Amino acid sequence: MLIWLKSIVKGLYQILSVLIFLLLWEIAPRIGLVDTIFLPPFSKVVLAFWNLIITGELFTHIGVSLVRSLLGFGLGLSVAIPMGLLIGWFKGFESFIDPLVQTFRQTSTLALFPVFILLFGIGEVSKVAVIFWGVQWAVLLNTISGVKNVEPLLVKSAKSLGISSFSLFTKVILPASLPSILTGVRLSATHSILVLIAAEMLGANAGLGYLLFFAEANFLIPKMYAAIITMSMLGLIVNYALVMFEKRVLSWKEELPTGT
């Protein structure tokens, strides 16, 4: 019973800051601290959110955004992870390709969106392409870092056993770099949603970004905030789902004792 009570108290404490923020959001417009035209009380936003749910409009936009995001994200991983493994493993290739990688990763993803529109049109392909481009860099750089920072003692020990280069890579390098790769995947997953939202605001007829832009353009302020909250919730769900996946995949990794 005591353990159960402690768990409840701990859970409430962890969300206390969020509850305080929402309470302030509800009170501030009602007592005149902010203009209700631009920041309506949180209860009105909840009502708008509920209306989006019961009409099914919200799920339509979420579905469209998720399909676009998953396509671009999946394509991005299929390129970034193998490329990161190659760059991290072959030092000569890293020296050759690194200037190009550093140049591309400093280029704003959204700045390239007009280029993708010119190349692929304003339809679905350009939106998937901008996500594909945007998710590359966190995964790529974390993969490179993971391969390069494998414990040298592990590599030396494996080589002393006469292991082949292929086996060294698949049985030592790849498993040891997996935590860094998964961190990059988690960062890129959230980023893919953010990039997509911006792309949908620039040219789309469905999706969360379109919903946000439509609500703002038509001065449907509670609906606009409901769209923003939906995006935040979606990002949190994706992040925590990937954290749980990461823990499950890396369950073999033992915690090092304190002080070692």
24-55 residue pLDDT tens: 988 988 888 888 888 899 999 999 999 999 99
Cα dihedral across residues 216, 220, 226, 227: positive or negative: negative
Q: Is the pLDDT of residue 97 over 50?
A: yes
List of long-range contacts for 113-117, beta carbons under 8 Å, 24+ apart: 113/198, 113/199, 113/202, 117/203
pTM of the full structure = 0.76
At a CB cut-off of 8 Å and minimum separation 6, what does 46 contact?
226
Per-residue exposure over 9-44, b if at least 16 CB sit within 10 Å of its own CB, e if not: eeeeeeeeeeeeeeeebbeebeeeeeeeeebbbbeb
Mean pLDDT, rounded, for 174-182: 84
If you search the block for the tokens 């056993």, which residue do you land on?
Answer: 161
| CATH 3.20.20.70, applies to 41-249 | no
Sign of the torsion formed by the C-alpha atoms of 63, 67, 70 and 73: negative
